[in-house]
Amino acid sequence: MLLENTGHAYCAAPAALPDDEGARLAALQGYCVLDTLPDKSCDQITELARTLFGVEIALISLVDEDRQWFKSRAGLSAQETPRSMSFCAHAILARGSLVVLDTHQDGRFRNNPLVTAAPRIRFYAGALLRSSQGHALGTLCLIDPRPREHFGPAEMARLEQLACMVMERLEQLRNRGYTDHVTGLPNRARLMEVLRARAHVKGDTGLPCAALGVDICSREYLFDMVKALGWDYAESFLVQVSRALCEALDYQPVYRVTTTTFVFLHEGTAAQRQEHIANVRQQFVQALEIHGIPHQLDIAIGVLPAVDDIAGSDVVRSLLTVIDVGREEGICPRQFESVHAENQRNAFWLLSALPMAFNSSDELSLHYQPKVRLRDSSCVGVEALIRWHHPVLGNISPAIFIALAEKTAQIRQITAWVVRHAVVQAAAWHARGHRVPIAINTSARDFESDDILRLLAAQLKQHAVPPGLIEIEFTESAMASNPAVVRQRVQAIRELGVKVAIDDFGSGFSNLSYLKSIPADIMKIDRSFISRLVENEADQVIVPSIIHLAHQLGFSVVAEGVESEQTARILHHLGCDFAQGYAIARPMPAEELEEWLGMVR
């Protein structure tokens, strides 16, 4: 070991810090070379140096904050030493090559533990390793336990040549890790480096540095393209889109940070930034034709006004968040607000807390909201609505956690939980002689597989529940991606004897053609049409039309969100069959519902 048996602490003054120490360290970090595995080319260079100069040891030494770390070491086993003992720390301070012919004759090194104990350095020559910006990162150095009489300019020039080869290799290694292989653009790691370097050296304009995140299309769009046309096509799509983007941004550095997201750093005025944004939007107004196929890109732009105010690692995270928010809100460009980060964090915590809720016996429960026949106010069934009481966060609205879970596969677990509990409840009421059909909400993802069908069939059988006691509610969005398959699955559910309802009808934007062939029994009119029915003239036109349309297609009609007696009367007058809403009853736990049912019967 290099430092064995030194026997005492090193007391001589270590090399002072160079003036550019902060930027120098940032540059060194930027090479991402510290603590990496040995590299064959680097080892060949140190081996060559050792034989060429006839020394025992040759090292590629990088001077880190408080250590020197050896990327390659010929003739030495130690991987690093403290910076306080480092000869190379003196070399980088001198900003030029350093030669010490005999350490015993040099006051700076005479008492250095590397001189007084193994490897007992007597001769040292180090050629600087300079970064592309001129920072001294360390040296390629020669070490020998015998002093030398001479190490002239010609020898030093040769050592410096080898040092240049080392730097070329380090650049190569860095670029390999810093380049996106599809587009050839710098990648996220490179962006992180640039941001890290900014922490040491701010730009010279004095203006804030903004980050623009440009999402060229949704991930689904790209994945569908891969599925339809293959990876090669998708890659040439990405290359061409990235070129178009770079052109719109005057060929300034653009980083590819996710499959579809690119980042551009902009140090300038808000007006200049707007101009860049306008150029990017303009660039993609026209469809982009790639191998004869036109792509009308749905780009989203997120803006982070000042990257220096947040940690580098948060830049990409925040941009992805604001891009998603912008997509959801339909706003482009969307500027980042701290509340977005908070929402994102909350969403993350909620989704990670959800699996615990499934395992706990009392966090999740079902409330039931009655549905009544308008003609005689009799209860014809209930809708099961999930409730989550978190031990710390309290009650969490399903409008929040269902919307989050719908973005992940967790929604299927929720649906499965609701199906199991609703069927058990239906069985309990059935056993006591009550006929209370329970409607269960589903999400688009539930129809991506046959799981829901299998689960429903198994649960009904296991608990001996007549299928007519369960209804399934699904929204138009379920039909969006693969209508034929969803239709088939809905039909299969119906064939079990389970009734099917189209939920929140009218809240989406889909065309009406799916109504012709959807195998449903019930249509639930979205509460946005019902809540202001009494005063809103447009709703007074739309609602009767929907009721008429639904009846013509053979559906019975439920109005959701009936909040007043008057609304219920109007709906009855319009021929609506059933109603649900606060005017009738709020969702309530099973025991309360039992009391409520006893009251109205």
Under the rule (CB under 5 A), what is the footprint of Ca ion? Answer: 441, 473, 503
Of the candidate spans 75-83, 178-186, 321-329, 436-444, the one that interacts with ligand C2E by CB under 6 A turns out to be 436-444
Rounded Cα gap, residues 184 and 176, in angstroms: 10
Binder of ligand C2E out of 398, 483, 519, 544 (CB under 6 A): 398
Nearest to 15 by CA among 89, 69, 80, 67: 89
Segments of 231-336 assigned E as strands: 254-256, 261-267, 288-290, 293-295, 300-304, 334-335
Nearer to ligand C2E, 321 or 443 (CB): 443
Nearest distance from residue 531's CB to ligand C2E, in Å? 6
Rounded Cα gap, residues 457 and 467, in angstroms: 9
Nearer to ligand C2E, 240 or 413 (CB): 413
First to last CA, the chain: 90
Q: Burial level of 120, CB count in 10 A (0-12/13-18/19+)?
A: middle
Of the candidate spans 26-34, 117-125, 177-185, 560-568, the one that interacts with ligand C2E by CB under 6 A turns out to be 560-568
Nearer to ligand C2E, 2 or 478 (CB): 478
Nearer to ligand C2E, 314 or 406 (CB): 406
Nearer to Ca ion, 260 or 442 (CB): 442
* The two three-digit tokens of residue 99, written as one number: 């030669």
CA distances from 306 to 199, 279, 303, 345 (A): 13, 21, 9, 20
Positions in 514-533 near ligand C2E (CB under 6 A): 527
Rounded Cα gap, residues 519 and 492, in angstroms: 9
Asked if 443 touches ligand C2E (CB under 6 A), the answer is: yes
Nearer to ligand C2E, 20 or 503 (CB): 503
* The two three-digit tokens of residue 448, written as one number: 């991506």
Q: Which residue has the tokens 């296991």?
A: 462
Rounded Cα gap, residues 234 and 254, in angstroms: 19
Binder of ligand C2E out of 49, 159, 315, 402 (CB under 6 A): 402
Of the candidate spans 53-61, 276-284, 379-387, 449-457, the one that interacts with ligand C2E by CB under 6 A turns out to be 379-387
Rounded Cα gap, residues 491 and 519, in angstroms: 6
Nearest distance from residue 418's CB to ligand C2E, in Å? 4
Q: Looking at the DSSP assignment, which residues form a beta bridge with residue 503? A: 475
Binder of ligand C2E out of 46, 112, 261, 442 (CB under 6 A): 442
Q: Is residue 357 within 8 Å of residue 364, measured between CB atoms?
A: yes
Please give the helix or strand (H or E) that residue 345 lies within, else none: helix 338-359
H helices then E strands: how many in the chain?
20, 22
Asked if 539 touches ligand C2E (CB under 6 A), the answer is: no
How many residues in the shown chain lie near ligand C2E by CB under 6 A? 25
Residues 485-504, mask of contacts with ligand C2E (x by CB under 6 A): ------------------xx
Nearer to Ca ion, 138 or 581 (CB): 581
Asked if 119 touches ligand C2E (CB under 6 A), the answer is: no
* The two three-digit tokens of residue 240, written as one number: 């061409």
Positions in 326-365 near ligand C2E (CB under 6 A): none
Q: Looking at the DSSP assignment, which residues form a beta bridge with residue 214? A: 262, 301
Nearer to Ca ion, 208 or 561 (CB): 561
Binder of ligand C2E out of 451, 563, 592, 594 (CB under 6 A): 563
Binder of ligand C2E out of 385, 436, 469, 547 (CB under 6 A): 385
Q: Applying CB under 6 A, which residues contact ligand C2E?
A: 369, 384-386, 397-399, 402, 414-415, 418, 441-443, 503-504, 527, 560-563, 580-582, 587
